[in-house]
Chain A
Amino acid sequence: MPARTGAQIFVEVLRSEGVDTIFCYPGGATLNITDCLCNCHDIKQIVVRHEQAAVHAADGYARATGKVGVCLVTSGPGATNTVTGIATAYMDSIPIVVFTCQVNTTLIGNDAFQEADIVGITRPCTKHNYLVKDVNDLPRKMKEAFHIARTGRPGPVLVDIPKDVTAAMTDAKIPEKVFIRGYQPNYNPHVGQIKRAMKLLAQSKRPILYTGGGIISSSASSELLKFAELLNIPVTNTLMGLGGFPGTHPLFLGMLGMHGTYAANMAITESDLIIAIGARFDDRATGKFDEFAPKAKIIHIDIDPTSISKSIKVDIPIVGDSKLALRKMIEFYEQEKEDFADYHRSIKEWHEQIEKWKTEYPLTYTRDGSLKPQFVIEKVYEITKGEAIIATEVGQNQMWTAQFYKFIKPRTILTSGGLGTMGYGFPASIGAQVAFPDRLVIDIAGDGSIQMNIQELATAVQFNLPVKVIILNNGYLGMVRQWQELFYGKRYTWSRIYSPDFVKVAQAYGAEGMRITREEEVEDCLRQAFENGKPTFIDVHINPEECVYPMVPAGAALKDMLLV
């Protein structure tokens, strides 16, 4: 191997990992690498306007494609600005590798200009992180970072590279294989446990599938569909699981949890067997832990042993990959079909009950002549037929999207589920648009959230990324307002916010701006926006009083929903 600089090694490893896009922001410490990327036309380099957005964009790219998202930023503030993005990806198990540059090794620990201990800062919110002090370790550590990010339970990995390391010479080879003695995730589910689970299912009369983001990350949606149909089991998704099962399917109950459907929450409460796959019993999904599914036994399939019996004690734990586990369960069923005769007879009653819940309290809203956010989202679904990639921000906009947009395919929803990061959706939609230049990518935002990363309009315009941002503008931080209305005596402290004229803002950046104030304008305006080929803000003035229902108040049991 001829000697190369650390910066050259960096580019070589990116190529060996098949990286076609990086989201980046330059600074003093990145310059050796930046310069090295000068003529690399095979690697798209999307320069953002704030490092947080670089990470969200890489995250959106990863969620939409299933590949590892990559970003590169400078030391100090560049590095610390990535933290929210990293924590977002960590909570949602999204594979990204974040490269931060660092001050020279000789200056580390000296409070040097633009120095921050980013490895120390991100230790609790990365799957793993590295400081590369020796250029000879650079290829191995970079390869390990990609390997760790994409395997097992995926997650963000940070690699901190001092500037002198990017200049130092090495003849180190790029390793082809990665071996980490303390890290060998277990993909294969235990056959005995699968059998036990299936035997329990055969005796069950009211089973339900509760599935999460693990279905998406292990690409198990077709297996899930087959399994659910074969055994005629109703399915509820977490927010992270949306798109993992077709939202239009008769077995689909909608999302469960705090803003889940009545049918999903009642079905969980009355079920005698929950099959949880790639979901982690988050408090927003379960409601009060002690009263979650009081009548049910629980089978839990997850790649991460720490997710199992963390908040809810499970009866049959199965550590392994969702896709492999579902395949094994399907195999078992096909071999032992006759054992399920009683099961198929008795499950009819369960479906009748569920149908009753579905018709008693469907997801709904009142049409009163005012412009309702739910109406707008229904229209977005009608026009796109579920084919668009939809990002959301966080709050009411996110919950209405989860409720009223029917996600049919995996990797079509980009949303910060675990951390709940406002400002996530817009840069994430930019990341997805870079990956899929010809697809329609829409961010459903609120007037609060969009202002947390509104500067990325410049990125969208500069790189011709025609993302559509639908701002559900109600003049409030809507979810905070909703809690204040319901639980704080309608004292709207801090939640009434001033916003600029979003149409003019968009135009000032060189993007398109449109406004909708009445129901009749919605369809035409959306169609126009979706076809204009430009980054577009659509400022939708919705009824400011609209709340998200049903709602399980924080700390209450799932069955105790507020329905109106």
Chain B
Amino acid sequence: MRHIISVLVENEFGVLARVAGLFSARGFNIESLCVAETLDPTLSIMTIVTTGNEFILEQILKQLNKLINVIKVVDFKDVDYVAREMILVKVAAENEKREEILRLTEIFRGQIVDVSPKTYTIMITGDEEKIRAFLSLLKPFGIKELVRTGPIAISRGDKTIKGKKEKGEENG
């Protein structure tokens, strides 16, 4: 199963290496990983997409929690959330196809961020399904390069990741 996990960490040297090292040493998968500073510059949030059964996920969450620099781990499995990803895609665009791609981009509320005589570079944000749909429509034109951020996620409603401390309350 695919899971999105948010990890609140200290914004310190070596923390990314600790998290990445933990995944590789224990044979956990990372599908994508996205990390940047939060409003509080001493903290960062990592959004990790991983796959594994319940058993593996439980270990991933516990092992992440065990790292000294990790302050909180949220598994979005139990939380209502919003997830978005951004992609930059360079697609072959010549002659009459240019118009068609432009329309498609507008329909998906994307933006053309770079133009060359033979290509468009399109930026688009959205959830997984939207991006999949857009890419499948774009494919026949000839995708030359694709760069994606991997999703970032945030919980819906009033809740924030820094809200309640969960570490050390894992009984039962």
Residues on B with C-beta less than 8 A from A189 are: 171
| Interchain nearest-CB distance for B15 vs A (Å) | 10
* Chain B residue nearest to A129 in the complex (CB): B14
Interface residues of A (CB under 8 A from B): 119-120, 123-124, 127-128, 131, 148, 180-186, 189-190, 192-193, 304-306, 308-310, 313, 317-320
Contact of A131 among B13, B65, B67, B68 (CB under 8 A): B13
Min CB gap A185→B, angstroms: 7
Sorted nearest first, the 8 A-B pairs with minimum C-beta distance are A190-B171, A186-B168, A306-B62, A182-B71, A128-B68, A183-B68, A305-B62, A305-B170
Bound Cα distance from A310 to B68, whole angstroms: 20
Q: Are B167 and A182 in contact (CB under 8 A)?
A: yes
With A182-B68, A182-B70, A183-B68: A306-B59 Cβ-Cβ less than 8 Å = yes
Query: Which of B17-25, B29-37, B124-132, B150-158 is found at the contact surface with chain A?
Result: B17-25
- Set A180, A192, A309: member contacting B68, Cβ < 8 A: A180
Residue of B nearest to A316 (CB): B172
A218 to chain B, nearest CB (A): 16
- Knowing A123-B17, A124-B25, A310-B59, the reply to whether A148 touches B68 (Cβ < 8 A) is yes
Tell me if B10 counts as interface (CB < 8 A to partner A): yes
What residue in chain A is nearest B65 (Cβ atoms)?
A: A305
If A304-B66, A306-B62, A306-B66 touch, whether A190 touches B172 (CB-CB below 8 Å) is yes
B17 lies within 8 A of A120 (CB): yes
Chain A residues with CB under 8 A of B71: 181-182
Closest to B13 in A: A131
CB within 8 A of B172: which of A128, A131, A192? A192
Q: Mark B56-80, 1 if CB is under 8 A from A, else 0.
A: 0011001101111111000000000
The verdict on B169 contacting chain A, using a C-beta distance below 8 Å, is yes
Q: Which residues of A contact B68 (CB under 8 A)?
A: 127-128, 148, 180, 182-183
- Could you say which of A182, A310, A317 contacts B69, with CB atoms under 8 Å apart? A182
Inter-chain pairs besides A182-B10, A189-B171, A193-B172, 11 sampled, C-beta below 8 Å: A123-B18, A124-B25, A127-B68, A181-B71, A182-B70, A182-B71, A184-B167, A186-B169, A306-B63, A317-B172, A320-B171
Q: Please state if A193 and B171 are interface contacts (CB–CB under 8 Å).
A: yes
In the complex, A128→B59 CA distance in Å?
Answer: 19
| B14 CB contact (under 8 Å) in A123, A124, A127, A313 | A123
| Cβ of B85 to closest chain A Cβ, rounded Å | 27
Taking CB atoms, residues of chain A closer than 8 Å to B62 are 305-306, 308
What residues on B are CB-neighbors of A182 within 8 Å?
A: 9-10, 67-71, 167
Bound form: Cα–Cα A206–B45 in Å: 48
Across the interface, do A318 and B171 meet the contact criterion of CB distance under 8 Å?
A: yes
Q: How far is A283 from B100 in the complex, measured between Cα atoms in Å?
A: 61
- For B25, give the chain A residue with the smallest CB separation: A124
The residue on A at minimum CB distance from B168 is A186
A182 to B14, CA, bound (A): 15
* Contact (Cβ within 8 A) B172 A305: no
For B, the interface residue count at a CB cutoff of 8 angstroms equals 26
Given A182-B70, A305-B62, verify A124-B21 contact (CB < 8 Å): yes
Give Cα A124 to B17, complex, Å. 10
**Cα–Cα distance between A180 and B9 once the two chains are bound (Å):** 12
Instruction: Report the bound CA distance from A91 to B87 in whole Å.
Output: 43
Q: How far is the CA of A318 from the CA of B171 in the complex (A)?
A: 6
How far is A318 from B59 in the complex, measured between Cα atoms in Å?
16
* A192–B55 CA distance with the chains assembled, in angstroms: 23
Neighbouring A residues of B17 by C-beta, 8 Å? 120, 123
What CA separation (Å) do A181 and B17 show in the bound complex? 19
User: Quick one: closest A residue to B14, CB to CB?
Assistant: A119
Closest chain A CB from B105 CB (angstroms): 43
Contact present for A309 and B58 (CB under 8 Å): yes
Q: In the complex, are the beta carbons of B171 and A319 less than 8 A apart?
A: yes
Pick 27 A–B contacts, CB within 8 A, sort by A.
A123-B21, A124-B21, A124-B25, A131-B14, A181-B10, A182-B67, A182-B69, A182-B71, A182-B167, A183-B68, A185-B168, A186-B168, A186-B169, A189-B171, A190-B171, A190-B172, A192-B172, A304-B66, A305-B66, A306-B66, A308-B62, A310-B59, A313-B55, A317-B171, A319-B170, A319-B171, A320-B171
Chain B positions within 8 Å of A313 at CB level: 55
Q: How far is the CB of A143 from chain B (nearest CB, A)?
A: 14
Please measure, in the bound complex, the distance between the C-alpha atom of A305 and the C-alpha atom of B169, giving whole angstroms.
Answer: 10
Which residue from chain B places its CB closest to the CB of A320 in the assembled complex?
A: B171
Complex: chain A residue closest to B71, CB-CB: A182
Contacts of B10 in A (CB 8 A): 181-182
- Measured CA separation A49–B18 after assembly (Å): 32
A520 to chain B, nearest CB (A): 52
The complex places the Cα of A128 from the Cα of B67 at a distance, in Å, of 8
B17's closest neighbor in chain A, by CB?
A: A123
Q: How far is the CB of A139 from chain B (nearest CB, A)?
A: 17
Inter-chain CA distance A181–B65, complex, in Å, is 12
| A3 CB to nearest B CB, Å | 26
**How far is A317 from B171 in the complex, measured between Cα atoms in Å?**
7
- In the complex, which residue of chain B has the Cβ closest to the Cβ of A130? B14
Greatest chain A CB density within 10 A among B13, B167, B170, B171 is at B171
**Mask for B83-100, Cβ within 8 A of A = 1, else 0?**
000000000000000000
| CB proximity of A438 to chain B, nearest CB, Å | 38
- In Å, the complex CA distance between A317 and B58 comes to 13
| Whole-angstrom CA separation of A180 from B172 in the bound complex | 25
Which of B65, B67, B170 has the largest count of A CB atoms less than 10 A from its CB?
B170
Residues from chain A with a CB closer than 8 A to the CB of B55 are 309, 313
Per the bound structure, the CA–CA distance linking A502 and B68 in Å amounts to 46
Chain A residues with CB below 8 A from B70, complex form: 182
In the assembly, what is the distance between CA of A181 and CA of B172, in Å? 23
Query: Could you tell me the distance in whole angstroms from the C-beta of B172 to the nearest C-beta in chain A?
Result: 5
Question: A residues within 8 A CB of B168?
Answer: 184-186, 319
Contacts of B63 in A (CB 8 A): 306
Name which of A185, A306, A320 has the most chain B CB atoms within 10 A of its CB.
A306
Select from chain A the residue with minimum beta-carbon distance to B70.
Answer: A182
- Nearest residue in A to B24 (C-beta to C-beta)? A124
A148–B66 CA distance with the chains assembled, in angstroms: 12
* Distance of A120 Cα from B10 Cα, bound (Å): 18
Nearest neighbor of A124 in chain B, beta-carbon distance: B25
Bound-complex Cα distance A189 to B21 (A):
30
B41 to chain A, nearest CB (A): 15
Q: What separation, in Å, do the CA atoms of A193 and B55 have in the docked complex?
A: 21
Which residue of chain A lies nearest to B43 when distances are taken between CB atoms in the complex? A181
Report Cα–Cα, A148/B169, bound state, in Å. Answer: 19
Residues of B within 8 A of A131 (CB): 13-14
